[in-house]
Each structure stands twice: as structure tokens, then as C-alpha cells.
Amino acid sequence: MKIKAAIAYEPQRPFELVSCDLADELDAGEVLVRVKACGICHTDLAVKLQHIPVPLPRVLGHEGAGVIERVGPGVSGLAEGDHVLMSFGSCGCCRQCQLGSPGYCDDFGMINLFGKRKGGATLRYRGNTLEGQFFAQSAFATHAIATARNVVKIDKDLPLEVLAPLGCGIQTGAGAVLNVLSPQAGASIAVFGVGAVGLAAIMAAKLAGCSTIVAVDIRAERLARARDLGATHTIDGRSSDLAKTVAAQESGRGMDYSIDTTGIPEIIAASIMCLRRRGSSVQVAASPRGTQFPVDANTLVGAGLTVRGVIEGDAVPGVFLPQLIKFFREGRLPIERIVRFYPFEEINRAVEEMESGATIKPVLRMD
């Protein structure tokens, strides 16, 4: 079938909207989704810029939302006309998947970054074929082939374009707080980097009842938005002795919890060094290849600190996304305040404005 897709050819070349032929036959467990909207995530840009070495050309996009048009063999619980959010893919068979941790699937990288469909090539364009899917969806397109495992059915009265970022960015930030750190009411937390993922963490910290929520960033407008969404303190990330400045917000004793969304070594270090004894930090950003962990091991041991890497907020999308949607319906997860919509044809402007900081979370509308 004929579709339109945004193809990433080379790191410095803009996305190009191209008429493509999408595979007609669905394999077992697959669904065809008419994409209504897709968020743009920094992971998409990291691949395009080859900071993550996934072969190009490729159709990126992994925060898709849309309407199912067809279901393949063996699919149950989903039907034509269902509204769905698309998230990351997983095999469903390995030990991690069986233990309820699909973000750590043994085949996570192969499925989400290098994935090839069992049914063969997904797209054909200008005499070429594109076999690899991105996060089991490649949703920078008017239609996408996904799997029953990586779509989540939602009520038809919900705004697909607003909820699209739940599939990755919001899930990651909120899940890192609610699923991994699990702060008790009255705890303190510092969030380093308050883009979409960091602001999701801020909102989740407020949901959890944290009494001290410190937002750290270098953009004044983002710090102001963080305060609007629940931060009790804001700190310029360029402050001298950043860790001590953050720790001072709790009378110098330090934070109970922290999360770094930047992947910048000196900021990672500050996110750990600002903790009080037996504090916990989660790291959700992919640092450039070769980045060394910036904290001496004796610091971790002596203070009894816990530092964990987290993928996709440790979420099971089919369980966690409905929880986030419940908070959204209740007005306690106002993600509509961090998104900005762009026509699909303006994908390159959306990328530019995300990179410049003018937009926190761009969402493409395919209609």
C-alpha cells in the first residue's frame, strides 16, 4: 500500500518525506496502524546523527499513536478501529520478558534498533528496500506495522496526539520515579535536565507526594515550566559546585533521590554527589560512546549509594500506560502543557525547535 514516510538518509541531511510502498501482508502477531500522531524523541535524533550507530537510511519514530486498520494472524484483543498507542518492542519469550521486564528483553537492541520483520522488507521506495523497523513501528509515517505486544489499546475519546509521547519519553521519566525510585511521601528528589523526560519525572514526583522537588537545567523557561508542574526549587545547571548547591536545598544533608536525563558526565556526577547517605539515583540517558562513569567507587561504597540505569521507566506498557492515562484524566499528569503540534510536513522545523529548546516535546500530526 502507498504511504508517506520521513526517511533519515544521513546525519546532516534533513528528513525527506517520500512516497513509499508498505508491505501488504501482515505476519503473525502484527497489526497495521494508521498513524495519527507521533512524538519526536532525542533517541530518534541520536540515531539520525549516528550517536547510536544504527544503519541509515531508516524510517524512525517510536512514539506513534493511531487507529488499527488491520490485524494479522494470531492477534487477539485488538480489532480494526481500535485506538492505540505504540511503545517499544520485546520478544515476550526470554527470561526478562517472562519476569515482567520487557525493557531488558534479551533481544531489545535487535528488535528496537536493528529489527527486521519476519515477513521481510517493510518499505520499498525509489527502487530500494528498507528492511529494518525502528522500535517495532517506524512511526514517522502515515501508516506503520507494529505488533500486538507493543501497542496499547486506549479509549476512543482520548486525544491521540496528546498521548503519543506516553510511548517512550513520558513513560521513561514517570516510570523512573514511580516504578524504580518509588519515593515515599515527604521524600526529596532532584531532577537534572527538565526536557520532556525530566518534566515527566517532576510530575511523577509530585504524584508520589515528594515534599522537595528540585529541577536543574540551564534554560530559565524550562525551569519556570518545571515549577509550574510541581518543582519546589529550581537551580541553574551552570552553578558552581552544582552537587553542593542541590544538596543545600535539604539543609546540606542531600537528596533522597535523583534522576539524570542529560547523559553529560559532569551532570551525572552531580546527580550522584548531591545524594544523602543511602540515597538512590537513576540514569536514563544514553551517553556518547566511550563515556566513563564519573564517580569514584569509594564514594558509592562509603555513602551506601544506589545508582541504577533504567530503560523505558522499567515499564510494562500495557500496565503502566493505562495508569498514566488515569492520572491524565484526573488532571494530575498535564502532559498537554509540554507538547507542541506540527504538521507532518514540518518535521524538520519541529526537530530544529526541539534542538534549540524552543519546543519541549514536538508531536507530529500526520493528518
Domains 2-167+334-365 and 171-311 share a fold: no
CATH number of 2-167+334-365: 3.90.180.10
Four-CA torsion 63, 65, 70, 71, nearest 10 degrees: 60
Domain locations along the chain:
2-167+334-365, 171-311
Q: How far apart are CA 255 and CA 126, in angstroms?
A: 55
Helices (H), the chain: 42-48, 95-98, 108-112, 160-163, 169-175, 196-208, 220-228, 242-247, 265-273, 297-303, 317-329, 347-356
Q: How far apart are CA 67 and CA 82, in angstroms?
A: 6
Angle, alpha carbons 55-58-63 (nearest 5°)? 115
One pLDDT digit (tens) per residue for the chain, 367 residues: 999 999 999 999 999 999 999 988 999 999 999 999 999 999 999 999 998 989 999 999 999 999 999 999 999 999 999 999 999 999 999 999 999 999 999 999 999 999 878 777 788 988 888 878 999 999 999 999 999 999 999 999 999 999 999 999 999 999 999 999 999 999 999 999 999 999 999 999 999 999 999 999 999 999 999 999 999 999 999 999 999 999 999 988 999 999 999 999 999 999 999 999 999 999 999 776 777 778 888 888 999 999 999 999 999 999 999 999 999 999 999 999 999 999 999 999 999 999 999 999 999 999 8
Nearest to 198 by CA among 229, 162, 220, 242: 229
The CATH number, out of the four listed (3.30.70.1140, 3.40.50.720, 3.30.70.2660, 3.40.50.11810), of the domain defined by the range 171-311: 3.40.50.720
Strand-strand pairing, 64-71 and 30-39: antiparallel
Query: pTM of the full predicted structure?
Result: 0.95
